[in-house]
Structure 1
C-alpha cells in the first residue's frame, strides 16, 4: 500500500469514527427531539423514507391471485378497510379519527399509494407493517385472501369520489344505505370575540397536526411529498379556493373548516379545525405566494 493510499484510508477511518462518536454524543445528550408533536428534520425524514422505499422494493414480490379489479373483491376489501384502516388513513371525503393526528410520521393518504404503488408493495406493507410509524403488520390477523382484498380496495379508492365512496360503504351488509357523503365530524363552536389574529408560525405547525402534508406538497413543511391534492406553493396568488370561492383569508378560513359546505364535490374532508387553527393556517398559506421551481 502506497503512502498516499494509506493516508486516504486512515483519513476515511478517522472521519467514520468521528461521525460515530459525534452521533453517540448527540444521542446521549438527548439532542434529537423525539416528540410526536414535532415532525422529523428533513434529513432524517428523507433518510427514513428512502430506507422504507428500498426495503419494500427489495422484499415485495408476491403475485396477485387473479383480477384485483373484481367488484366482489373490492367490496370485501372496503369492509376490511373500514374495520382496520379508515381510523388512521381516512377515505375520500372522510377524515381520519383523532388518534391519527397524534402520530409521527403522519399516516399516509392512501390515494397516492393506490395510484402509484404496484400491488405487491401494498400487499407487503399491509402484511408486514412498518416499524416506528404506527403501521401494524396484519399478516397474523388477516388471511392472505383478506389482505389481497384490501389491496384491491386501495387500488380502487383513487377512482371513488366522496359520494361514490359513501354509496359503496352504505351498500355493505349491515350498514345503512347512504346516498350522500359520510357526515363530516361535528364542527367545534366558533371561538369568542377575543380570538387573536392568525399567526404564521402557529399555522405552519397546525398544518402538520392536521395532516395537511399527507395530501399536499407544502413549501417549508417536512414530509410534504404527496400529490393527492394540489401543491400549495403559490396558493396566496390564486384567484379561487377549490375552484369556486374567491381567494381571501376569510374565505380560506371558511373553506378549511367545512370544505364540502363550499364545494359538495370536494374530496377534502372536514378535519374539525377550531376557528383559531383555521385562522392560523390561513395566515401561513397566505405567505405562500411563490410556486416552487419558478
Structure 2
C-alpha cells in the first residue's frame, strides 16, 4: 500500500512537472508576451525585478565604508556626470536626452537614488552596472578615482535646486571629463586575469560581432568566431599571433589593418592584456 501511494505521488509530481514545462513552452512559442518598449511590464513583474535588484546590490555592496574623495571632488564629479550620466538620468531642472525618455526600464532619477542608497551601494552600481537596464559597468570606462568623484557628486544631488545646479555647473573650468580612462599607470605590471578578460570582452561589446567562447549571447556571425584563437598563425591576416600582437590588434585595429571593419573601441592596456590572455588560453579553444 505504501509503495502504491509513493508511486502515485511520483506520477503526480512528474505529470505536474510536464504540465508546467508544456505551459512554459507554449508561453514562449506563442509569442503572447509583448516585448515592445511601448508596453510596460505589469506592476507585479516590475516589483519583483525591483526587489531582486535591491537585494542583489545589498548583498554585494554590503555596508562597507566608502571613503569620500577630497572636498573639490564634487565639481570634478559634476564634469564627469555631465559627460557620461546626464544623457540618461538628467539633473535638477535638466531633462535627459530624448532617446532616454523612451527607455524601458526608464533610467531612475538619481535624486531618488541618492536618498535611498548609501554611497557604498551607489559606488557598486556605478562600478559594476546593472544588467537588463542599459546601465554599464563604468569601471571599464573610468579610472577608480573618477568613479569616486561621480559618487561624491551624486550623493549631493538631493541638496541641489535647479538654480544651485546651474550655478555649480557654471563655476570653475569646464575641464576635460573622463580623459584618464580605466588604465592604471603601471598596467603592464598587473598580473593578467583571464576571468576579467571574458568580462572585458563583453563590456567592450566584442560579442556584438564575434562568437566568443564562454560568453552568453546571440553568437553573431558579423566577424569571425574567436574560438581556438591560440591555434591561428596570424592575426588580421598578416600579424604573427602572439600575446603582445593580440593586445596591439585589440587596441589599435585600424593601425594594424586600415581596411578592417573592426573599430577602435578605446580598450585600455590592462583590459586588452586580460582579453588576450583569455582568448589565447585553454578555455577559448
- TM-score band (shorter)? 0.5 to 0.7
Q: Which residue of 2 aligns with 1:28?
A: 29
Change (3 A) 1:62 1:84: farther
Q: Distance in 2 between matches of 1:116 and 1:74?
A: 19
Do the aligned partners of 1:87 and 1:100 also contact (CA within 8 Å) in 2? yes
1:100-139 alignment, distance < 5 Å: 100-139=100-139
1:135-174 alignment, distance < 5 Å: 135-174=135-174
The alpha carbon displacement at 1:102 in A equals 1.9
CA RMSD of aligned residues (A): 2.4
Q: Distance in 1 between matches of 2:76 and 2:63?
A: 20
1:180-195 alignment, distance < 5 Å: none
Change (3 A) 1:140 1:4: same
Q: Distance in 2 between matches of 1:9 and 1:152?
A: 58
TM-score (norm 1): 0.53
Q: Distance in 2 between matches of 1:101 and 1:43?
A: 22
Q: Distance in 2 between matches of 1:106 and 1:147?
A: 22
More helix by share: 2
Q: Distance in 2 between matches of 1:21 and 1:158?
A: 50
Structure 2: runs of 5 or more not aligned: 176-285
Do the aligned partners of 2:64 and 2:120 also contact (CA within 8 Å) in 1? yes
Paired residues, what number?
174
Q: Distance in 2 between matches of 1:112 and 1:5?
A: 54
Do the aligned partners of 1:88 and 1:100 also contact (CA within 8 Å) in 2? yes
Q: Which residue of 2 aligns with 1:55?
A: 56
Matched, 1:45 2:46: yes
The alpha carbon displacement at 1:33 in A equals 0.8
Q: Distance in 2 between matches of 1:104 and 1:125?
A: 18
Q: Which residue of 1 aligns with 2:181?
A: none
Do the aligned partners of 1:62 and 1:123 also contact (CA within 8 Å) in 2? no
The alpha carbon displacement at 1:80 in A equals 1.1
The alpha carbon displacement at 1:11 in A equals 4.5
TM-score (norm 2): 0.55
The alpha carbon displacement at 1:164 in A equals 0.6
Greater relative contact order (Cα < 8 A, sep 6+): 1
Q: Distance in 1 between matches of 2:5 and 2:113?
A: 50
